[in-house]
Each structure stands twice: as structure tokens, then as C-alpha cells.
Amino acid sequence: MTVAHARWVISASLMLALIIYTVPMPRAFAWFRPELPVVVLMYWVLALPHTAGVITATLVGICMAILQGNTPGALSLGLVVSVLVLLFTYQRVRQFDIVQQSITITLLVGVSLIIERVLLLSAGGVVAEGYVFLAPLPLTLLCWYPVRAILRGLRRYYEVR
């Protein structure tokens, strides 16, 4: 249909991912919460690189940081770097099979989390001790397949271009 339509579906899916991301859960499990909004963002960048890009990544990063109680900007910069890598390589990543894609996306999420941590540490923010900040990665890896399947269905149904 139209580009405006595309933006509606993209925004709605990102908003839903943010809501699911903030569902309260016991503190012990919360460390393993997958980075769902980032995975959704990566899908849209991969599928529609001319519509979703670094600006979308910045906004998603700011929203996530505010919801997490972190200083906004750190995660955004991490996401901008990851999305930039994906924008340069999206044609190749599209040809990957599902396992390779899952690993690539998870690595990019990991890179953005590492950049966020370094920036927060240098800004004097509070971060978790040790490598526990990477705990969301295993479930993020498992997330890619269902997220890709659902969003691909939505994209085709609403003819998002």
C-alpha cells in the first residue's frame, strides 16, 4: 500500500515489543529477559533498510533506556552502531539460513549491549557487576525465529513496503 501504512505497522510492532519487554517478572528471571524491541528493530532494518534505520534505532534505544531507568543515549549509540553494520551487510544477511541469521542478530545485540555498558560506566551510571549484562543473549537468540515469522506474516498481510 503506502509508506505511511508501513510506518504504522513498524511503530505498532515496536510499541508492542516495548510493552512485552516491560512485563514485570521476578528479579532472578529479569536478567534473562530477551531484548525483544531490539530484535524487532533488527527485523525491520533487515526487511526495509530504506524505511527503518539509524533514526528508528536511536528512538528505540531512548525508549528502552527510559523504561530501564538508564541514562538515554548510551543504548541508542550501541544500537546505531549495530544497525549501521546491518545496513552495510543486509543483502548478505538476508541470504543466511535461520541459524546464521539468529547468531548474527544476537552478536549485533551483544555489541550494542557492550557499547551501552562502556558508555554508562564512563558516564558514572549504575551497571550490573560482571558479565551478567550479557544474560539476555541466549533467549534473544531463540527469539529471532518466531519474531521473524510473525513480522514477515504481518509485513506481507499489510503489504508493508
Partner 1 sequence: MGWRLVAAIALCVSALIYFDDSPRLEPARRVAVDGSSWLLSLAAGPGQILGAVGDYFRSRDSLREDNERLVQENLVLQARTQRLASVLSENARYRALLNSAELVQDDIMVAEVVSVVADPAHHLLVLDKGARDGVYAGQPMLGAEGLLGQITMVGEHSSRAILISDASHAVPVQVMRNGVRALAEGTGSIGELLIRHLAATTDIEVGDVLVTSGLGGRFPPNYPVAKVVDINLRPEAAFASVRAKPLASLDRGRHVLLAVAHTESAAP
Nearer of residues 64 and 141 to partner 1, judged by Cβ: 64
Cα–Cα dist 37/17, whole Å: 5
Q: What share of the chain is helix, strand, coil (3-state, %, to 5)?
A: 75, 0, 25
Nearest residue to 141 via CA among 49, 57, 42: 42
The full length of the chain comes to: 161
CA distance 37 to 119: 20
Task: Determine which residue in the list 20, 103, 142, 149 makes contact with partner 1, applying CB under 8 A.
Answer: 20
The candidate with the shortest Cα–Cα distance to 101, out of 135, 142, 134, is 142
Which of 2-10, 100-108, 124-132, 147-155 is the region at the interface with partner 1 (rule: CB under 8 A)? Answer: 124-132
Q: Does 111 bind partner 1 (CB under 8 A)?
A: no
For partner 1, give the closer residue by CB, 98 or 123.
Answer: 123
The binding track of 125-154 with respect to partner 1, each residue x by CB under 8 A or -, is xxxxx---x---------------------
Taking the least distance from each CB to partner 1, the nearer of 14 and 151 is 14
Give the span between the Cα atoms of 151 and 127, in whole angstroms.
32
Least spacing, CB of residue 103 vs partner 1, in Å: 25
Query: Under DSSP, is residue 56 helix (H, G, I), strand (E, B) or coil?
Result: helix
User: 10 Å Cβ neighbour count for 89?
Assistant: 14
Whole-number minimum distance, CB 2 to partner 1, in Å? 21
Chain positions 69 to 108 lying near partner 1, rule: CB under 8 A, are 69-74, 76-77, 80, 84, 87
Residues that bind partner 1 (CB under 8 A): 18-24, 27, 30-31, 33, 53-55, 57-58, 61-62, 66-74, 76-77, 80, 84, 87, 119, 123, 125-129, 133
